[in-house]
Chain A
Amino acid sequence: MKMGRVLVLLGVNALVAILSPLDAAIVQNSQTVTTSHKLEDTDEKRVSIEFGAGRLVIRPTDEGLLYRLRLRYNEDYFEPVTDLSGNRLHLGVERIRKGFRGIFNWNPSGEGNEFDLELTREVPMDLHVNFGAGSAELDLGGLALTGLEFNTGASKSRIKVSAPNSAQISKAQFNVGAADFQLEQLGSLNAEDIEINAGVGSLEISLDGSWQRDALISIHMGIGSLELHVPEDLGFQLRKNSFLTSLDGVRNLVKEGNAYYSLNWDEADRNVTVDLDGALGSVTVQLIR
């Protein structure tokens, strides 16, 4: 597990958490940028998104735009980046001044930094999201994703795939530091190999959605709880290789060595294997209809 990376994220985010009240106490110089780009072609794009702290929203759009971004940030400390060069699209904010002020940019009415992005469903894209701290709400439903990497430090993140991915992902990766992390309708992501690295926190993963192929999900967990929601009609296997981790809800699974199988493993249309490598915490498996 990339525990070093996770620990560095944790350290940074602890610092952010300690200093955030300072951030709220000062007068902020908020600026809002709304930028959009017309959809000119359907060539595959590598989309990288970088956002330090605040509220991150990503959702699909059908308005004939490549993207539309509404960004609120502290203009004294950050500047927006909207760069489309060839087939690379880079959206985000870059720090232009040192110091911890302005990280969250909260104003007296409770509004802070915000990154609200709409992405086209028309263009195949390899999506990379780097998000520091705050809350993230991603709906990747119907986007044509050929790759996905989501990195977050300390956040409450919810990612759902409300409609099937029209492209195929060979490997999707989620790196989470200290977070309350939810993944919904993971089947619709159409990914063959999914890797989740989590440091501290709670993970809730719903294996619903439309699975178009068998998949392997590798979960590397430090300290925390993991809830797996498994549809009854999905062939499911849990391979547990963990040190101090308790396991609940495996009554309806068949155990063979370190692995637990659903009763329909041999007959199911689609089979999903979860490889769990955890240090400390609890795992709950829940069958859903």
Chain B
Amino acid sequence: MNRSRVQIGLFAIGFGFLLLPLTLPAQARQIITKQITLGNSVAELSLELTGDGRLDVTFDDGVVQVDGQVAGRIDPGDRLEVAWRLLLEGVVTLEDGPLAERLLAWSAPEGLAAEVDSIAQEIEQALQGALESVDTQARTERVEVSVSIETEGDVVGLLERTPEQEAEIRNRIRVELREEIRAEIQEEINRIARRGGDFLGVGGNVFSGLFSLIGKLLLIAVLGLMGGVLVRFGGGHVDTIAETALRSPGRSALVGIAGTLLLMPVWLLGFVGLLISIIGIPLAIAWLPLFWLLVSMAFITGFVSVARSAGEWVADSGFQWTNRIQKSNAIHTVFVGLFVLLLAFLVADVISILPFSAPLTGVLIFTGCVVTVAASQIGFGAVLLTRAGRRRESRYTQNDTGVADQQADSPEGG
């Protein structure tokens, strides 16, 4: 585009701006934003109109405000307030022209007390003043805005900068406010953490964390040794349980949970059942501790089996450091698996030594609990499903065409 056309264009825009104040009052206004608030004590209408027009009418606990100025006070629940609330409830779904029409048509109830009546008149005048130039025939419809200004240089940039700057300022205020609030919250957290730290003492944190860590390591050692014994003397059974836990974890978990829920009823019913048979009385006495001993063994066996699967999974994960894990050595994989399953607890113990670590420690302990409970239930379920490893429960095969299929254990495979 040549320079003379640009100049003509700019001149036309400038001339248009000069004429704008003369033309605006004659144009129909539009309602841009409508907000209606209805609460126990509040009934508020807030409108934003084109040309920077605004209307705010608020009934708040007996105080009536029109455009931010107190118009008067009424008794909460007064007839005027009731009529105003009814109006607002009726226009909630209306927009633009129909909204303006309905608001303009509103009139306060007759026979109000003089003071209340003057408030009502002020509201009616405010509505008239704000809405009389709104085209009541206008319906909100699809708006297609298509603006194309052909020009050079920064002219468009200059025209568009004002609203952008305004938006930027609003954003900046928002960001600053947020940062201020965050800083205050952080300070509050630090203050609470300091108080907590003083109460326990840093030394106390170190010792309790270390003792707890040593305890967990001992637990891993004990469970690992038990796992070693189990693998040594019942390798095939442990293999079957581990395989079932790996192949059907969901099913195992469900069976484990169901089994856990049934422990107490089975224990009691077993005891009563043995009692009512004369020959069973001596057995009933033995039943009381023996049952829980067997349950404990089932849980430990299941947990160790899941740990073994976890250890094998780590060995297969392909990380550099996992090369040292001997997958063929079952005891090795059991130990690795136990470390993996209890890792969250171990890390929590180490981190708890550090100051201000309570939230993170809490999250880690929660994670550890979730993992431990899940592994226990899966393991226990797998023990039950396989009758302590005596019955192979899960087997996946692949047929000649490469179509994946499930047998025996799968719900589909029956």
* Chain A residues engaging chain B, CB cutoff 8 angstroms: 3-4, 7-8, 10-11, 29-42, 62-65, 70, 75, 82-83, 85-88, 122, 223, 225, 243-246, 248-256, 260, 280-282
Contact = CB atoms under 8 A, between A and B. Distances in A.
A197 B382 CA distance: 28
B33 A86 contact: no
A103 B251 CA distance: 36
Nearest to B30: A38
Given A40-B32, A122-B142, A280-B374, A251 B412 contact: yes
Which 3 pairs, one residue from A and one from B, show the smallest C-beta to C-beta distance? A86-B167, A31-B39, A244-B249
Contacts of A64: 95-96, 139-143
Contacts of A248: 406, 410-412
Contacts of B95: 36, 38, 63-65
B19 interface: no
A30 B39 contact: yes
A31 B37 contact: yes
A256 B143 contact: no
Identify the interface centre among B31, B370, B378: most chain A CB within 10 Å of its CB. Answer: B370
B167 A85 contact: yes
Given A32-B37, A38-B31, 19 more contacts: A7-B366, A7-B367, A33-B37, A35-B33, A36-B95, A38-B96, A41-B145, A42-B144, A62-B142, A244-B245, A245-B249, A248-B410, A248-B412, A250-B404, A250-B406, A251-B403, A254-B403, A255-B398, A256-B402
Q: Is the interface of B mostly helix, strand, loop or mixed?
A: mixed
Contacts of A243: 310, 313
Contacts of B42: 31, 75
Contacts of B249: 244-246, 280-282
17 contacts: A3-B367, A4-B363, A8-B363, A30-B39, A34-B36, A35-B33, A35-B35, A41-B145, A64-B139, A243-B313, A244-B246, A244-B378, A248-B410, A248-B412, A250-B406, A252-B403, A255-B398
Contacts of A82: 35
B195 interface: no
Given A246-B248, A281-B249, A40 B143 contact: yes
B167 A33 contact: no
Contacts of A10: 366
B332 to A, nearest CB: 19
Given A32-B37, A42-B145, A223-B374, A254 B402 contact: yes
Contacts of A35: 33-36
Nearest to A255: B404
Interface residues of B, number: 57
B7 interface: no
A246 B33 contact: no
Nearest to A222: B370
Contacts of B362: 11
Interface string B359-380: 0001100110010001000100
Q: Is the interface of A mostly helix, strand, loop or mixed?
A: strand
A282 B366 contact: no
A144 to B, nearest CB: 13
Contacts of B164: 86
B354 interface: no
B403 A255 contact: yes
Contact of A7 (B37, B363, B410): B363
A238 to B, nearest CB: 10
A11 B363 CA distance: 8
Identify the interface centre among A4, A11, A34, A35: most chain B CB within 10 Å of its CB. Answer: A34
Given A85-B167, A260-B404, A38 B141 contact: no
Contact of A36 (B33, B363, B374): B33
Contact of B38 (A31, A38, A245): A31
B140 A281 contact: no
Contacts of A88: 167, 171
Contact of B39 (A62, A75, A256): A75
Contact of A255 (B253, B402, B410, B412): B402
Contact of B370 (A42, A65, A223, A251): A223
B36 A253 contact: no
B387 interface: no
A90 to B, nearest CB: 8
Identify the interface centre among A36, A225, A248, A250: most chain B CB within 10 Å of its CB. Answer: A36
B194 to A, nearest CB: 20
B35 A34 contact: yes
Contacts of B401: 254
A201 to B, nearest CB: 13
A75 to B, nearest CB: 5
Contacts of B33: 35-38
Given A36-B95, A223-B374, A243-B313, A30 B40 contact: yes
Contacts of A85: 167, 170-171, 174
Nearest to A250: B404
A46 to B, nearest CB: 11
Interface in B33-83: 33-40, 42
A86 B367 contact: no
A30 B184 CA distance: 29
A30 B145 CA distance: 39
Contacts of B38: 31-33
A244 B309 CA distance: 9
B273 interface: no
A258 to B, nearest CB: 11
